[in-house]
Amino acid sequence: MVDILKEVVKLLPEGVVSEAGFEAANIVVYTKDKDFFLDNRGEIRKLVEEFKKRVELRPDPSITMKPELAEVKIREILPKEAGVQDIVFDEKRSRVIIHAEKPGLAIGKQGALLKDVRREVFWVPTIRRMPPIRSKIIEGIRGTMYQNSEYRKKFLDRTGHRIYDGWIRGKKSEWVRLSFLGGARQVGRSCIFLQTPESRILIDVGIDVTGTDSEQYPALDAPEFDLKQLDAIVLSHAHMDHAGLVPYLYKMGYTGPVYCTTPTRDIMALLQLDMVKIQHGEGREPLYTSEEVKQMVLHTICLEWEEVTDITPDVRLTFYNSGHILGSSMVHLNIGNGMHNIVYTGDLKYARTNLLEAAVTQFPRMETLIIESTYGARDNIMASPQESDAHFVELVERTVARGGKVLMPTLGSGRAQEIVVIIDRLVREGRLPKIPIYLDGMLWDITAIYTAYPEYLNRSVRKLIFHKDQNPFMSEIVKRVGSQKERQKIIEEEGPCIICATSGMLNGGPSVEYFKQMCENKKHTLAFSSYQGEQTLGRRIQNGEKEITFMSSGKPQTYTVQMEVDRVEVSAHADRRELMNFLAHVQPKPKKVFTMHGEVSRCIDLASSYHKVYHVETMAPRVLDAIRLR
């Protein structure tokens, strides 16, 4: 392969380039020539056309204005209404990151204000949205990136060299091979290992938080897997059963990239740090520490939906909306320049919800589809969103009338935020009294992330968020619970209200603490909001178990469940009907379909129904099955 950086420099006017390097799959060229920086006379566009790669021109650090002076100038140029907050200079990469409450106003018509910034200060400006609700995790992640900008620059350059320096493993033949290392015929620890003659890629690396020791983690001891050879990790979304083990790989010495969307990066870091905290609290040795979560963050490369990017010499990645949680994505992999194309759905919702648009069904090419099967069995038909919302309202009204509270164990992300949107709407419409919604601990932090990335939400919520007084997440009825003392106060003193708390399956976390104190009171309602894994307390209660025993300082303590138990389960996953519809509508039609991420019978049922109805080759692989696709 040609040395692409040398070729780029050769094609530009002599002497204008001071440095050329990679930022992952992008090429960045620095110049000391101020005139060329401001007007490259179409030269950069020519390069983009020639190489079919993104090429960015930046001023050489030696010609950028001193940061202190540049900051003053930038604040002069951008209008007050844009709400400019922190301005951070990434000196190694000649970028200035401007945090604004209203990014649109800071950018100006057709980017006019950004052009002014470039011309006045000789920095490349990037505008980032300030979340209307402060988010410690977003601030922490941004801080980590800025503090380590030199390392980050080197890491991105190294990643680019791996992509463009040519084949390192020798191209002998064309083949594509998948190993299912977890989440096959089971829910939890999702993990697929993709190999080609040149590439070694992990798609999702989850942990099963409910599993027993040997089944908790993906089978990374599979003979074909070697961490030292791993080129990239690709993540569909932030849930722990898809991304929970990633920091552990850094602990074990991995230093390569993790590809995901920005909300996925932020939410997974939050969930992982929460697990570290819980394990510490329980006196257990944590699987990894916050230092390794930080290492992971430093190695993430965030992509937008439908942004095509090379990740190894023979694999090209694109994310598409999967409709499941904020930033959740289907993974499209184009292998060997179109020789074979895989779509992995991750977790999928094929219907518009209160928060998100439905999963995408149009792909440029696809031969193999790997699809989730959480609700893959014939009888896994769920209520429509309208029916479910109506059911939820009745449940809340009934509980409020008894003077009780509704406890909703929820997964970190998704359902709690949706409940906020539903209740806020009903309160505004006068259909529900103004009762508070308490978001416990992490749920509040995740809600803040939802407000930071409105572009990943559906059109109607996005519109609401842009109007401060209509932003459902900033409504006065939404309240944060941070401490044990506050929890106690809500249980003992607060009137009717809705309490959302993790974990969603009552296997630890504050939801269990609320449950213990509320379950023996008939006034209250326990409303499950998500799938309840086998062996979880949630599943046992759902199955009607009434006597629940917990260990308390070494002694068993038994509670009798008296509270009403119900479920308002709709949102996060496609039900059987949607899964069937998805294959009916997906374009192009795959030649092979693998079902995973479901209990044994559900994976098998969905695979056989797909075969019968759509006449495609299907399979429900088991953990450790390996299949050659081509």
Where on the chain is the footprint of Zn ion (CB under 5 A)?
A: 239, 347
Q: Which two tokens stand for residue 603?
A: 């994976």
What sign results for the dihedral spanned by CA atoms 191, 299, 291, 250? positive
Report which of 232, 221, 235, 228 is spatially closest to residue 179, judged by C-alpha positions.
Answer: 221
Question: Exposed/middle/buried for 19, CB within 10 Å: 0-12, 13-18, 19+?
Answer: middle
d(Cα 195, Cα 453) in Å, to the nearest integer? 33
CB atoms within 10 A of CB 3: 12
One-letter amino acid identity for 579? L
Q: 3-class SS at 499?
A: strand
Q: What is the C-alpha end-to-end distance of the chain, expressed in Å?
A: 24
Q: Which two tokens stand for residue 628?
A: 């050659």
d(Cα 349, Cα 567) in Å, to the nearest integer? 19
Q: What DSSP string runs through 436-490?
A: -EEEETHHHHHHHHHHH-GGGS-HHHHHHHHSGGG-GGG-TTEEEE-SHHHHHHH
Contact 247, 296 (CB under 8 A): yes
Contact 543, 582 (CB under 8 A): no
d(Cα 39, Cα 54) in Å, to the nearest integer? 18
d(Cα 301, Cα 260) in Å, to the nearest integer? 7
Distances (CA, A) of 126 to 46, 88, 429, 536, 554: 23, 10, 39, 45, 55
Residue 453: how many CA atoms within 13 Å on its side-chain side?
Answer: 23
Report which of 430, 423, 425, 429 is spatially closest to residue 396, judged by C-alpha positions.
Answer: 423
d(Cα 489, Cα 485) in Å, to the nearest integer? 6
Adjacent-strand bridge partners of 344: 331, 370
d(Cα 348, Cα 352) in Å, to the nearest integer? 11
CB atoms within 10 A of CB 94: 21
Q: Which DSSP state fits 533?
A: -
- What SS3 string covers 182-199? ECCCCCCCCEEEEECCCC
Q: Which residue in the block uniquely carries the two structure tokens 């552990």?
A: 248
Q: Which two tokens stand for residue 108?
A: 């100006």
Q: Which two tokens stand for residue 356?
A: 């998100």
